[in-house]
Amino acid sequence: MLTISVLASGRGSNFQSIIDAVKNGRLQATISLLITDNPDAFAIQRAHDGGIEHLVMQPKIFRSRDEYYQAVANELHRRGTDLVVLAGFMRIIGKPLVEAFPNKIMNIHPALLPAFPGLHGQKQALDYGVKISGCTVHFVDEGMDTGPIIIQAAVPVRDEDSEETLSNRILQFEHKIYPEAIRLFSEGRLEVVGRRVRVKGSPPDDRGLTSPSLG
């Protein structure tokens, strides 16, 4: 069975969607650990409620960024982690962690990458005037939202949308596609070839794009 560890900095709503997917049997996995850099993160309460171990690891107590990420990698290895899941972890992942888990770290971003990476992807989309936004699950490399794309969900932008309303609609799809990406990984169906992620066993019209169905 797949062993997952989660890194989060804030409320952890995607963390909760993964907890729920495990509980309802949609995802055959065990969540072994939450690591947070924020002692006030609500994700800690979610871990407590789910009976999941958590650690607060703040970079400021380490001598360097590399030392911090090596310590994080060591804790993940101790729990037998197969997949590292970023659920609102507000830091760029350092080289020691990326090298310790090559193509085994996932992130979700509230935009259709490579458009609008970094913070406030929803606001960037509105400011640019796009008609379609969405969210992306991708593998993590050392860049900012630059790793190979696994699944994307498209969400239309409405004329009356604010950053809050668009964010809330996108979030509904985040909660759907993140557990799905993890499920595909757990089944050994994701193959990284260069910058492309192939979903083995999927028909040609179902290779990682989810269309909106929530209105």
Do residues 188 and 103 make contact, with C-beta atoms less than 8 angstroms apart?
no
Q: How many residues does the chain have?
A: 215
Q: Are strands 190-193 and 196-199 parallel, antiparallel or unpaired?
A: antiparallel
Amino acid at 77: H
User: Per the structure block, which two tokens stand in for 190?
Assistant: 């994701």
One DSSP character per residue, 96-111 reads HHHHHSTT-EEEEESS
Which residue out of 48, 77, 109, 120 is catalytically annotated?
109
Q: Cα separation of 12 and 47, whole Å?
A: 9
**Cβ neighbour number for residue 175 with a 10 Å cutoff:** 17
109 annotated active-site: yes
Cis peptide bond N-terminal to 114, omega within 30: yes
Q: Cα separation of 71 and 123, whole Å?
A: 34
User: Per the structure block, which two tokens stand in for 68?
Assistant: 């911090």
**Residues identified as active-site:** 109
